[in-house]
Amino acid sequence: MKLHSTRPKMDPLAKSETAPESLVDETRRRGRGARSNHSGRFEAERRVSFDDGWENLAGLDAFRTEVYAEPARSIITRNKSPDISFDQSINPYRGCEHGCIYCYARPTHCHLGHSAGLDFETKLYAKTNAAELLEKELAAKAYVPKVIALGTNTDPYQPIEREHRITRQILEVLERASHPVGIVTKSALVLRDADILSRMAARRLAKVAISVTTLDRRIARAMEPRAVTPGKRLDAIRGLSEAGVPVAVMVAPVVPGLTDSEIERILKTARDVGATEAGYVLLRLPLELKDVFREWLKSEFPDRADRVISLLRSMHGGKDYVAEFGLRQKGRGPYAEQIAARFGLALKRLGLNTRRQSLRLDLFTPPVAKGQQMPLL
């Protein structure tokens, strides 16, 4: 993979047309989640690669991961949503190579002029100055420490983190400043940073949530093609727990009619390897994601597709998605209530969420900004 310094140009073979767009050939998208690369809502034209009779499509290259440098202007994002447990977050990367077909962050790629489909998985942006910016923002006199969440949009430990190490650089800054951090990931790569996380956890400055959507390897491979297997995620829970890092399991998203039958088994298995907390989020299909997910569902599970969508819509008042706070993540109606009740009973039976650990804010020591005088004492 090459790290470029500018945004990519559009595919020169992409054409504008009003006819329905076809799915991308399997040989070009092998190992990816999305089946298409439809234009986003901000683009004036719709583009699709099509065969003009000269068999041009046969010569198109497979989709490859491209990483583009994106020096950020600020790095801490503030959040005021009442149904989210964090006030500020950092996302080291835009786009995610894991290719999870259900990812609610897919539509954000459309703001960059890309597709929520294959572009989201293959055209990635690395915020190369993240650690430097973070140190500067933490050093600001007006900064008030609150837990910083990593992984709220795209995974901070997706495969390109092995090379770019931006997440580790961020953790190094946070450790030096004694600043609390919470991480959400589905990658076993988080174990690489167990040294930092264990030291921070010993001072109640770090906790990690591992996402386990399913324990079925076949479903996981189809839904999350470049993420590690469920077994590796359980290994990550075990490894972090043994290192003294508090670990939660996130059953997220719960896909009705496909993975919801596994809720209790996921919770028990995660508890048995060291998880002490748990949460869940219902499948969300905002904006372009509803089409991306439907294409995948009809391709991978044609016998279940209608039931999955029917159940999902029953929890959103007959719609694919309702963005209302308090409902967007849990839904409503009989089926949503059933999922919530099952989850609650399983938590009680397994003793999860009985030892919720809050992170400390009082240890924060602002970094010394460049040119700023260091304290005498």
- pLDDT, averaged in runs of 10, over the chain (377 residues): 51 39 77 86 62 51 89 90 78 96 94 92 96 97 96 94 98 98 98 98 98 97 96 98 98 96 98 97 93 95 96 92 80 94 98 92 89 54
- The amino acid present at 305, given as its one-letter code, is A
What is the CB neighbour count within 10 angstroms for residue 132?
15
Helix (H) or strand (E) holding 131: helix 130-139
Distance between CA 288 and CA 110 in Å, rounded?
9
Helix (H) or strand (E) holding 289: helix 289-300
**Residue whose structure tokens are 């942006």:** 125
Distance between CA 35 and CA 29 in Å, rounded?
7
Structural domain includes residue 357: no
- Output the CA torsion 25→30→36→42 (10° steps): -130
- The torsion region of residue 244 among left (phi > 0), alpha (psi -120 to 50) and beta comes to left
Distance between CA 189 and CA 97 in Å, rounded?
14
Q: What is the secondary structure of 152-211 as a DSSP string? A: SSS-TTSTTHHHH-HHHHHHHHHHHTT--EEEEES-GGGGGGHHHHHHHHHTT-EEEEEE
Structural domain includes residue 71: yes
Look at residue 20 in the predicted model and tell me its pLDDT: 43
Look at residue 373 in the predicted model and tell me its pLDDT: 55
Exposure on the CB side of residue 365, measured as CA atoms within 13 A:
10
pTM: 0.88
Structural domain includes residue 365: no
Look at residue 45 in the predicted model and tell me its pLDDT: 60
Structural domain includes residue 32: yes
Structural domain includes residue 37: yes
Structural domain includes residue 336: yes
Look at residue 291 in the predicted model and tell me its pLDDT: 94
Look at residue 83 in the predicted model and tell me its pLDDT: 61
Domain region containing 327: 3-53+63-350
Structural domain includes residue 283: yes
**Residue whose structure tokens are 């894991």:** 98
Distance between CA 315 and CA 313 in Å, rounded?
5
Distance between CA 67 and CA 41 in Å, rounded?
23
Beta strands in the chain (DSSP E): 3-4, 15-16, 47-48, 66-69, 77-78, 88-90, 93-94, 123-126, 148-150, 181-185, 206-211, 247-254, 277-282
Distance between CA 17 and CA 20 in Å, rounded?
8
Q: Are 200 and 181 in contact (CB under 8 A)?
A: yes
- What is the separation of C-alpha 115 from the centre of its chain, rounded to a whole number of angstroms? 17
**Residue whose structure tokens are 């009680």:** 348
Distance between CA 361 and CA 77 in Å, rounded?
18
Classify residue 71 by its DSSP letter: -
The CATH number of the domain where 213 resides is what?
3.20.20.70
Domain count, the chain: 1
- The amino acid present at 190, given as its one-letter code, is V
Structural domain includes residue 355: no
